[in-house]
Structures are given as structure tokens and as C-alpha cells.
Structure 1
Amino acid sequence: MPLTPLDIHNKEFGRRLRGYDEDEVNEFLDQVIKDYELLIRENKELQNHSLALQEKLNHFANIEETLSKTIIVAQEAADDLKNNAKKEAQLIVKEAEKNADRIINESLAKSRKVSLEVEELKKQASIYRARFRTLVEAQLDLLSLEGWDSLDGNGQVKSEIARGS
């Protein structure tokens, strides 16, 4: 059992003529030296162990700091990526809206052009029908004239038809 400071303090040596019993003192000192060396060795081991633990703690603290910085950088990169994606999406939407407006305007212009062409064709058809009707009526009037039965040898209708009576 190792000595305690109280054991050392309370140790009394037997007296002899010449003073303390030398063997007893030497044995005690040997025991003190042995225990003290043991304590020094244990203290050194504990110091070494403490240094190793401190190094590990520092290492893990560095890892934690690096991870924190990495997380911050990753978060910033994610935020930048998110913001860039939003901006790109907004640009795409604006471009799509422009294209849609252009397509709508082109379609409206084409629709107006087609409407104008249809109206023009309706007018031309109406004029054509009126002219055709006039032509058909004139031909019918010609057919209703007498004298178609008597054609002269040259293929001409008698003078009545020529006169238009």
C-alpha cells in the first residue's frame, strides 16, 4: 500500500543511543523513494495521456471547425445556386412571355390579314356574281329574242337579233 503524505508526516522512528534506527529510516526512505518514483511515473504517464487527449481534442476541434466552414461554404454555394436558378427561371419565364406575346401578335396580324383577304374575296365574289348574273341575264335576254330559228348561211342571226330588239 503506497504511502500518503500523512504517513510520512506521522512516521516516528525508534530511538537508540546514537539516534534513529538507521535500518528503519533507510527502509522508510526506500519505501518513500519507491512510492515517489511510482507517483512520478504515473504522473508522467497521466501527463502523456493528457497531452494525447489534448492533441485528439485539438484534432477534433480542427475537424469541427473545418466541417463548420465547409457547411457554411456549402450553404452559401447552395444559396448561390438557388438564386441563380431563380434568376434563370425568371429569365426563361420572361423570354417565354416575350415569345408568347410575339406569337400572339403575329397570329393576330395573320388573322387580320386573313380576315381582310376573306373580305376582299367576298367582295370579289360578289362582284363576280353580279357580273355573271348580268352576263347570264343578257344571254337569257338574247335567247328570248325571236329569230333564233332563222339563221342565214353565214351563221348570223337576222337583223332583229343584231339590233337587239
Structure 2
Amino acid sequence: MPLTPLDIHNKEFSRSFRGYDEDEVDDFLERVIQDYEALIRQNKELEERLADMTERLKHFSNIEESLSKSIIVAQETAEEVKANARKEAQLILKEAEKNADRIVSEALNKSRKIAMEVEDVQKHAAIFRARFRSLIQAQLEMLESGDWDRFDQEVSTTVKEPAVFSNGSA
């Protein structure tokens, strides 16, 4: 069992003729030296362990700090990516709206143009029907008039007469 400071303090040496017993004092000092050396070794080991633990603590503190910084950078990057995605989405949406407006405008213009062409065709058809109706009515009036009878007679008399050719033979 190692000596305690109280043991050293309370140690009493027996008196001999010339003072303390030298052998007893030497034995005690030997025990003190051994215990003291053990304490020095133990203290040195503890100091080394403390230095190692301090070094490891610094290492882990650095890792923690790096991780914290990395998390912050990752969060900032994520926010930037989100903001850029929102901006890009807005740009795409605006472009799509412009394209939709352009397509609708073009469709309306084509629709108007086609409506005008349909109207033009309807006018031409109406004019054509009116002219065709007039022609048919004129033809009907001609059929109903007596002019056809006279035409039939002229055609009949022309057909009965011999045809005269330019060289004089029939």
C-alpha cells in the first residue's frame, strides 16, 4: 500500500544513541522514493493521456466545426438552388404565357382571316347563284317564248336543203 502524505507527516522515528535510527530512516526514505517514483510515473502517464485526450478533443472539435460549417454551406446552397429553381420556374412560366398569348393571338388572326374568306366565298356564291338564276330564267323565258318554234323551222329547212361544199360537189 502506497504512502499517503498523512503517513509521511505522522511518521515518527525511534531515537537511538545518535539520533534517529539510520536503518529505519533509510527504509522509510526508500519507501517514500518508491512511492514518489510511482506517483511521478503515474502523473506522467496521466499527463500523456490528458495531452492525448486534449488532442482528440481538438480533433473532434475541428470535425464538429467543419460539419457545422458544411451544414451551413449545404443549407445556403440548398436555399440558392431553391431560389434559382423558383426564378427559372417563373421565367419558364412567363415564356409559356407569352407563347400561349402568341398562339391565341395567331389563332384569333387565323380565325378572323378564315371568317373573312368564308364571308367572301359566301358573297361569291351568292353572286354566282344570282347570275346562274338569271341565266336559267332567261333560258326558261326563251323556251317559253315562241322563238324556239321559229328556230325549229329554220333548222328544219336548212337541214332539208342539200349542203353546198366549196368545191361544188354534193
Same fold by TM-score greater than 0.5: yes
**Per-residue CA distance 1:115-164 (angstroms, 9 max, x = gap):** 111111111111110111001100111111124243314999xxxxxxxx
Aligned to 1:92: 92
Aligned to 1:62: 62
Task: Note closer, same or farther for the CA distance 1:137–1:79 as it changes in structure 2 (3 Å cut).
Answer: same
Correspondence 1:47 to 2:38: no
Structure 2 CA distance, aligned partners of 1:154 and 1:25?
180
**Per-residue CA distance 1:61-118 (angstroms, 9 max, x = gap):** 0001111111111111111111111000000000000000000000000001111111
Aligned to 2:154: 152
Aligned to 2:163: none
Task: Note closer, same or farther for the CA distance 1:33–1:108 as it changes in structure 2 (3 Å cut).
Answer: same
Structure 1 CA distance, aligned partners of 2:157 and 2:19?
184
Q: Once superposed, what is the RMSD of the aligned Cα atoms?
A: 1.5
Aligned to 1:138: 138
Correspondence 1:20 to 2:20: yes
What letter matches 1:82 in structure 2? Answer: K
Aligned to 1:32: 32
Instruction: State the TM-score, normalized to the length of structure 2.
Output: 0.88
Shifted more, 49-58 versus 143-152: the winner is 143-152
Structure 2 CA distance, aligned partners of 1:112 and 1:12?
126
Structure 2 CA distance, aligned partners of 1:41 and 1:151?
157
Aligned to 1:161: none
Structure 2 CA distance, aligned partners of 1:126 and 1:50?
110
Instruction: State the TM-score, normalized to the length of structure 1.
Output: 0.91
TM-superposed CA distance for 1:54, in Å, is: 0.4
Q: Secondary structure at the match of 1:12?
A: coil
Q: Number of residue pairs matched?
A: 156
Unaligned stretches of 5+ residues in structure 2: 159-170
Please say if residues 142 and 148 of structure 2, whose CA atoms lie closer than 8 Å, have aligned partners that are also in contact: no
Structure 1 segment 106-117 matched on structure 2, within 5 A: 106-117=106-117
Structure 2 CA distance, aligned partners of 1:17 and 1:88?
105
Aligned to 2:81: 81
Please say if residues 3 and 35 of structure 2, whose CA atoms lie closer than 8 Å, have aligned partners that are also in contact: yes
Identity level (%): 62
Please say if residues 3 and 32 of structure 2, whose CA atoms lie closer than 8 Å, have aligned partners that are also in contact: yes
